């Protein structure tokens, strides 16, 4: 039996604020993915999906149709979408299903995330001391990285400037107005060195994918994209993570390095073969660090690459062509599948004003989140 997995349908909703519930957004994304594939809900043989705070994915059958399909709930922080995708891919590979669905969705209230220490295996004192505030972690992590590798605040601003520029070209993005680097640098400081316009915002949105075996793909309408690999990893000892109570001395380990290396090994290619990529950018420093952690450059090379425009849509390594989390916001359950949706459009040549020139053939996606989990994919046409 073939183990190839093809993505035949991809759908997403606009991200940002919405009067619709998270579940309603999920149903809209699923129906968009089914329409893109040219099929209907009864054809789906297995489904996997979830959200962080917007409800249970399996209840979507009340609106999609009571077909008896096995529907498994997934909740894995920022890797929820990637974990749902891994599960759906394994359903195809194992022969459990020839058509499977992955869906991620969320709807967060205004303001910063407000996690509870006990949900992360931490004592209450961790929260009362203010360490559950994620912006502090991101500020500390990028400060150390900038010191070690010569990254300047201007590079942080240029990453965010690119995000807003690309978001302006993305119909479903939340932030659709370009913001110049000078204004980003001058915006209010949140957690030094990160200013207000360098962060993404919690929001609402959904994304869904229809996965098929090669045989089933022949009956679909959507031009298929091959899912060459999908890998999910958790932190190893020595990592410096969100909600990590301590960090040992020495060179830290990286869950993003582990997940990306596993994805590239499974796909049988390396970072140099990638034509377009999506990297987690909870804030602009994260994109900079993840460029190196995922193997696209050495630590410290980002300063020159970013200044040269290499990571822009027309550059040799386009990163976050849809504006990433900074322009789209972050509905936690949906972000990973939004990334894959974007790469599918790029490989199909359907990305419109944000299309990478030259006909990209290989794409990569990466998400990272608390308490040290990462999901990566490699796709090709």
Question: Over 80: is that where the pLDDT of 180 sits?
Answer: yes
For residue 160 the two structure tokens come to: 């965010």
Residues 210, 340: contact at Cβ < 8 Å?
no
Helices marked H in 205-298? 214-217, 255-267, 284-293
Residues 86, 32: contact at Cβ < 8 Å?
no
Q: List Cα–Cα distances, 167 to 320, 329, 374, 377, in angstroms.
A: 9, 10, 24, 22
* Contacting residues for 43 by C-beta, under 8 A, at least 6 apart: 99
Question: Over 60: is that where the pLDDT of 243 sits?
Answer: yes
Tens of pLDDT along 148-163? 999 999 999 999 999 9
Helices marked H in the chain? 22-37, 61-64, 80-94, 124-128, 134-149, 153-167, 181-186, 214-217, 255-267, 284-293, 302-308, 324-328, 332-348
Residue 244, number of CB atoms within 10 A of its CB: 17
Residue among 6, 1, 52 at smallest CA distance from 26: 52
Residue among 45, 346, 381 at smallest CA distance from 224: 381
Cross-strand partners of 16: 204
**What percentage of the chain carries pLDDT values higher than 70?**
99
Tens of pLDDT along 249-307? 888 899 999 999 999 999 999 999 999 999 999 999 999 999 999 999 999 999 999 99
Question: Over 60: is that where the pLDDT of 27 sits?
Answer: yes
How many residues are listed for the chain in this entry?
Answer: 381
């Amino acid at each position: 039996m073939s183990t190839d997995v093809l993505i035949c349908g991809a759908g997403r909703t606009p991200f940002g604020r919405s009067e619709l519930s998270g579940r309603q957004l999920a149903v809209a994304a699923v129906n968009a993915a089914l329409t893109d594939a040219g099929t209907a809900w009864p054809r789906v043989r297995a489904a996997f999906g979830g959200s962080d705070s917007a409800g249970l994915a399996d209840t979507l059958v009340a609106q999609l149709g009571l077909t008896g399909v096995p529907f498994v709930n997934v909740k894995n922080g920022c890797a929820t979408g990637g974990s749902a995708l891994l599960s759906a891919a394994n359903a195809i590979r194992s022969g459990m299903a020839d058509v499977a669905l992955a869906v991620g969705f969320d709807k967060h209230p205004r303001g910063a995330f407000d996690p509870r220490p006990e949900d992360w295996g931490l004592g209450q004192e961790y929260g009362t001391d203010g360490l559950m505030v994620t912006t502090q972690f991101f500020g500390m992590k990028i400060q150390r990285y900038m010191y070690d590798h010569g990254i300047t605040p201007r590079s942080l601003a240029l990453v965010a400037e690119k995000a807003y520029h690309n978001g302006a070209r993305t119909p479903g993005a939340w932030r659709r107005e370009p913001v110049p680097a000078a204004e980003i640098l001058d915006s209010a400081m949140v957690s030094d060195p990160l200013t207000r316009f360098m962060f993404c915002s919690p929001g609402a949105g959904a994304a869904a994918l229809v996965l098929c075996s090669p045989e089933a793909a022949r009956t679909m309408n959507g031009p298929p994209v091959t899912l060459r690999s999908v890998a999910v990893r958790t932190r190893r000892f020595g990592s410096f993570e969100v909600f990590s109570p301590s960090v040992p001395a020495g060179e830290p380990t990286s869950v993003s390095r582990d997940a990306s290396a596993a994805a590239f090994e499974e796909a049988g290619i390396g970072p140099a073969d990638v034509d377009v990529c999506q990297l987690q950018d909870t804030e602009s420093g994260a994109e900079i660090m993840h460029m190196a952690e995922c193997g696209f450059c050495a630590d410290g090379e980002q300063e020159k690459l970013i200044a040269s425009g290499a990571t822009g849509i027309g550059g040799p390594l386009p990163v976050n062509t849809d504006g990433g989390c900074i322009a789209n916001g972050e509905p936690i359950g949906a972000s990973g599948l939004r990334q894959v949706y974007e790469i599918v459009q790029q490989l199909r040549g359907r990305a419109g004003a944000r299309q990478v020139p030259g006909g990209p053939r290989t794409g990569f996606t990466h998400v990272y989140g608390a308490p040290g989990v990462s999901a990566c994919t490699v796709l090709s046409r």
